[in-house]
Chain A
């Protein structure tokens, strides 16, 4: 029998190539290293504000008093409002600041009654009252008026009502006098002085609730306890069970004592539900929680619930 050499060569080569492929391409299945999950809790800005808010009852971390100006220490009653004793900015062109003090009372005094007259009685007669007034310009009389209670102007207005120049005076809004409507009195107080500037009031710093890492260790706890929780079958009717416990954990993650259920279950199903949760808490210990947050998780209340909200 004659053997075809090319056939032999072909077979040999194929075997070689396939064999080489089998050896060199075979490899262990890719090992997928289970990644540690990083629990993330998405919170609203509102929640963030709450979390970082300081608390009045918080530990006073900053015993230094508020100091706004380096000077002889002088206790301040109430450190709220603008500091009135600003040093005047002196430039070449700036007018002497003195007249201001004089102007203010003059401008202010006659003005306040105006808004009262304008804003309060929207009926027509009132503006009338205004017209006759300016000629009278009598600071004393006006000062008295200010002190008088509001009902008083009315009879005056009625008396003046028959006067004809009504239409003209209506909406006598003078744009140039807008500034006069503002109360230009600054809240005044003295700067709090001290030996060293310190802009933080000692009201307890933002450590109030900031150390709330429950999103982290809480979800780690959830993940672990869920593995042991054999939730009883509640059927298709939603009974919305919810049971809570108070538990104390030791540093090693084991229970310090038996979990204390909150309240007694009212229905057989609730009792079963509570028992199943209790079983899960006991069975799943020790819990592997971050040691750094031990102060937070040494005592907490797991809530087992079917409620959606």
Chain B
């Protein structure tokens, strides 16, 4: 070995770090990035102290009773306050502070509150409002949303309405608060249609029912003589399409919830089922039975013309449009077991997106377009989950004996579904955040199943 060789080796050792050096170097890099001290950024400006991602915490919010404009308005003022408090609390994103803790009593909403009093009870946001009956009989609702820390008004509105719609006003105000404090659209001013179930397990009476998303204002739309299933809202929120077992085959019906007018959609031989509106409300897409198989058809509500979308020797069902109306997701057993497929709205090649164990059914596309919710069956359990339209990002939100039929809130943040505990008890409605948090039972008069969330009413 010459001196030169030795020198070369030495140089190699200096230039080529050993594996251990590389690993420790990378670890040091990781530590560096996670250390919270960013020297790279420190050039020039003040020292940067990184406060890294923390746990999400519900926002503490104070909602003192709205001020009654006249003594007669006291009940409605308290009612509106309760509805707002309940909405925000149920969303899981807010922690309304108990009124008993309040130091200041709001008597006039036209002057700024004493923010120190609200800081003391750790409120970060404060809602003040007033309900006043006008001379013409209408109800005037005003509210202001305050940032306690900075003392600034974040938003403020006033509305006029008929006194009987005070709950809707409360929902609209809730949406305003929700949107201003989360940066997301709200969903409180919306309704849910569902199948109300009463009677014994052997002789269940199923009626179509309508309620506000918080369970209030329940109305029955059918009398319960016939079995009803899978109600769906039209985007106009005035009409519902559903399937009913009448005297003959099950049929898809269209019902105007304001007038009560009802009609059969199309006149097809055999069974028609699992209907849903297109996003523009002009068409209804559904399954038509053909022997042992079923295929997807779309019917234009004006021209009554029907177009076939699939032609397979399999069961294609549960179609749901993407919010832009360009694509469809549906359930099909063409691959052997029921799975979720996505295809162009006009028909064409379908692409399978679900590949997990078990079977997938009842897909529904989020109004945001980012996820498709489904019911998954496997391992003796029924789960509710979401998956991205390209088949990635599947996540299960809840599992159990029987969970089925997810439907998205108008903002795509919350899912409602029904859960059957088994035994003699019937099903109930639940909501869950699409991250899997905040699972809550929705109050209904009896057992309830097959919920469908309406779009925002306003």
Q: Which residues of A contact B (CB under 8 A)?
A: 41-47, 50, 178, 212, 214-215, 218-219, 221-222, 225-226, 229-237, 244, 246, 258, 267-273, 275-279, 282-283, 296-297, 299-306, 308-309
Contacts and interface: CB of A to CB of B under 8 A. Distances in A.
The 6 lowest CB-CB distance pairs between A and B, nearest first, are A44-B28, A269-B183, A268-B183, A272-B183, A279-B149, A282-B149
A279 B124 contact: yes
Contacts of B51: 222, 225-226, 229, 277, 302-305
A76 to B, nearest CB: 32
Q: Pick from B49, B147, B181 the residue with the most CB of A within 10 Å.
A: B49
13 contacts: A45-B28, A46-B32, A214-B37, A222-B52, A229-B54, A233-B92, A236-B434, A267-B183, A270-B183, A278-B150, A300-B49, A305-B53, A309-B33
B47 A303 contact: no
Given A268-B183, A300-B48, A41 B39 contact: no
B117 interface: no
A247 to B, nearest CB: 8
B340 interface: no
Interface in B45-63: 45-60
A214 B150 contact: no
A230 B60 contact: yes
Given A218-B49, A226-B54, A41 B28 contact: no
A276 B55 CA distance: 13
Contacts of A275: 147, 154
B434 A235 contact: yes
Contacts of B72: none
Contacts of B29: 44
B80 to A, nearest CB: 24
Interface string B47-91: 111111111111110000000000000000000000000000000
B142 to A, nearest CB: 23
- What class of interface size applies to chain B in its complex with A? 35 or more
B114 interface: no
B31 interface: yes
Contacts of B182: 232-233, 269, 272
B35 A41 contact: yes
Contacts of A43: 31-32, 35, 37
Interface of B: 3, 25, 28-29, 31-33, 35-39, 41, 45-60, 92-93, 119, 124, 147-150, 154, 179-184, 370, 395, 413, 434-435
B150 A47 contact: no
Contacts of B50: 222, 302-303, 305
Contacts of B25: 44
Contacts, number: 139
Contacts of A301: 45-49
Contacts of B147: 275, 279
A113 B58 CA distance: 81
B45 A246 contact: yes
B53 A306 contact: yes
A270 B46 CA distance: 22
B124 A230 contact: yes
Contacts of B48: 244, 300-303
Given A301-B48, A303-B51, A237 B370 contact: yes
Nearest to A262: B45
A283 B53 contact: no
A305 B261 CA distance: 54
Given A244-B48, A303-B38, 4 more contacts: A43-B31, A226-B54, A233-B93, A303-B48
A309 B40 CA distance: 12
A237 B392 CA distance: 13
B37 A246 contact: no
Contact of B36 (A222, A229, A234, A297): A222
Contacts of A229: 51, 54, 57
Contacts of A302: 48-51
A271 B39 CA distance: 27
Nearest to A272: B183
A221 B45 contact: no
Contacts of B149: 278-279, 282-283
Nearest to A237: B370
Contacts of B57: 229-231
Contacts of B119: 283
Contact of B31 (A44, A222, A237, A258): A44
A44 to B, nearest CB: 3
B311 to A, nearest CB: 37
B7 to A, nearest CB: 12
- Highest count of chain B CB atoms <10 Å: which of A226, A235, A271, A297: A235
B56 A233 contact: yes
Given A47-B39, A214-B47, A272 B181 contact: yes
B37 A41 contact: yes
A46 B54 contact: no
Most buried by A among B32, B51, B395: B51
B3 to A, nearest CB: 8
A230 B94 CA distance: 10
Contacts of A296: 47
Contacts of B154: 275
B28 A222 contact: no
A301 B51 CA distance: 10
B53 A300 contact: no
Contacts of A244: 48
A308 B33 CA distance: 8
A305 B54 CA distance: 9
Contacts of B31: 42-44
Contacts of B45: 246, 301
A244 B38 CA distance: 13
Contacts of A222: 36, 49-52
